[in-house]
C-alpha cells in the first residue's frame, strides 16, 4: 500500500458532452506513471449476448443498475491501495470488436469517469475534484449519432429511440442534479479544440504544483 493517497478526479458528463475528448486532452499532459484512468463504461453487467436485436433496442443501458457498482468501487479502491487492476474492456455489443485486456496501474492521479460517478455515493465520497462536462442537448445528440452510427453499429432509429427514452431521462435524474456541487463545470458546445485544451492546460498546471510537486 502506498503512503500517500492518490489525488482522485471524477469526470462526469452526459452522452455526447465530449468527455472522451476532454480526457484525451487532459491525459496528454501526463506520463503513464503520473495518471491512470478508470472508466465506468468498462463495468457494464454483460447481458447483450443473450438478447435479440429488438430486446437490445429496448434494454435501457442508461440506468445505474446496469453497472457492476461493487466491482467498479472495488477496482478504484485497489488503485488507491497501490494495486494494479486487470480487466476486460466492454465492447458495447459490437460483435466485431475484440475486447482488450486492460492493465490499469496505480498512479499519483486517478481519473474516474462516467455517468453515475456522482450518483454512486461511495465513489463520489472518494473524489477530490469533481469535473462536470456540460453540453447543450442538440449538440450532444449530434455527437451521439456520429459515434453510435459509425463506431457501435446502431441504426439511426435505434439511436433516436434510446436518446429520447433512455439517455435524456437518465441524465436528468442521475447526473444533472449534481452539476452545482462540482468543483469545475466546463461548457463544451463548440468543436473548437483550443477551448478544451486551454482548460486542461490550466487544470494540469494546478495539479503539477499541488499533487505532483
Nearest to 19 by CA among 106, 133, 100, 156: 133
Fold observed for domain 7-208: Rossmann fold (3.40.50)
Q: Which residue has the cell 437518465?
A: 170
All structural domains of the chain with their residue ranges: 7-208
Q: Does 75 have pLDDT greater than 50?
A: yes
CA 56 from centre of chain: 22
3-class SS letters over 155-207: CHHHHHHHHHHHHHHHHHHHCHHHHHHCCEEEECCCCCHHHHHHHHHHHHHHH
Over 70: is that where the pLDDT of 29 sits?
Answer: yes
Q: What is the pLDDT of residues 165-210, one digit of tens each?
A: 999 999 999 999 999 999 999 888 876 666 777 888 888 888 888 8
Please tell me the pTM assigned to this model. 0.86
CB atoms under 10 Å from CB of 138, counted, come to 9
Amino acid at each position: 500500500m502506498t503512503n500517500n493517497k492518490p489525488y482522485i478526479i471524477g469526470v462526469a458528463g452526459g452522452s455526447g458532452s465530449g468527455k472522451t475528448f476532454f480526457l484525451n486532452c487532459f491525459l496528454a499532459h501526463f506520463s503513464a506513471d503520473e495518471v491512470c484512468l478508470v472508466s465506468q463504461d468498462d463495468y457494464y453487467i454483460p447481458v447483450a449476448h443473450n438478447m435479440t436485436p429488438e430486446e437490445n433496442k429496448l434494454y435501457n443501458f442508461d440506468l445505474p443498475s446496469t453497472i457492476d457498482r461493487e466491482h467498479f468501487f472495488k477496482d478504484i479502491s485497489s488503485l488507491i491501495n497501490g494495486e494494479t487492476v486487470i480487466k476486460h474492456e466492454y465492447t458495447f455489443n459490437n460483435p466485431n470488436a475484440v475486447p482488450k485486456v486492460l492493465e490499469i496501474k496505480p498512479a499519483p492521479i486517478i481519473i474516474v469517469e462516467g455517468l453515475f460517478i456522482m450518483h454512486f455515493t461511495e465513489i463520489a465520497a472518494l473524489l477530490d475534484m469533481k469535473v462536470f462536462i456540460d453540453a447543450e442537448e442538440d449538440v450532444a445528440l449530434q455527437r451521439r449519432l456520429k459515434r453510435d452510427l459509425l463506431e457501435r453499429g446502431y441504426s439511426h432509429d435505434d439511436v433516436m429511440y434510446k436518446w429520447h427514452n433512455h439517455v435524456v431521462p437518465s441524465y436528468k435524474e442521475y447526473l444533472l442534479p449534481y452539476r452545482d456541487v462540482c468543483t469545475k463545470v466546463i461548457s463544451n458546445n463548440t468543436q473548437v479544440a483550443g477551448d478544451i485544451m486551454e482548460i486542461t492546460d490550466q487544470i494540469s498546471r494546478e495539479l503539477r504544483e499541488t499533487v505532483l510537486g
